Amino acid sequence: MPTLLCTGCSSGLGLQALRHLYSHVPSTTSPASPSWRLIIGARDVAATQARLATIVPSQIPKPHVLHLDLESFESVRTFSDQVKLLVEGSGAESTPEPSRARTDAPDRHQGGIQCILLNAGVYTAKFEALSGGWCKEAIVNTFGRSRNGSAGQA
């Protein structure tokens, strides 16, 4: 099953992008069609699910909304592992458990991640050191995105 992976889609431009996919693109070619899986990374899972409930048509499978805080390397690692399980596994569970990982390689022609929308980002006017002394912008906008970009790769 093809997959659309999104970050930064719980509000603002990212949410508007999803709204567009769900309402303006023909369902036969849209990532919102039942033949597609939508995985969203969000800091506030409950709020994101509530916002999505207003735009996701009832006949469409609900997106997988997983916790993701790009300021935390551990959160990014956990999110990436969960995405891999969803993409390589059946994708039926909304929050995959590590013990349910498949040992065989995914069929890249039937699944994988076909579209990535990495919209999450941050800018602060003042230097704010986080993990390892790196600034917040480097961690959120570069390191976190790099890890997320490889989430669907074995």
Burial class (CB in 10 A: 0-12, 13-18, 19+), 59: exposed
Neighbour-count burial of 73, counting CB atoms closer than 10 A to its CB (0-12 exposed, 13-18 middle, 19+ buried): middle
Domain 3-149, CATH class in plain words = alpha beta
Which two three-digit tokens encode residue 35?
């033949």
pLDDT at 100: 42
133 or 48, higher pLDDT:
48
The closest of 69, 64, 63 to 44, measured between CA atoms, is 69
Question: Average of pLDDT values for 71-94?
Answer: 81
Cα–Cα dist 112/4, whole Å: 9
Q: Which residue has the tokens 């699944």?
A: 111
Task: Name the pLDDT band for 21 (thresholds 50, 70, 90).
Answer: confident
Domain positions in the chain are 3-149
pLDDT of 80 > 50? The answer is: yes
pLDDT of 117? 87
Of 2-16, 72-86, 122-136, least confident by mean pLDDT is 122-136
pLDDT for residue 102: 43
CA distance 8 to 40: 8
* Total-model pTM: 0.68
Among 47, 54, 50, 49, residue whose Cα is nearest residue 22: 54
The answer to whether residue 65 scores a pLDDT higher than 80 is yes
Reduce the secondary structure of 72-112 to three states and give it as a string: CHHHHHHHHHHHHHHHHCCCCCCCCCHHHCCCCCCCCCCCC
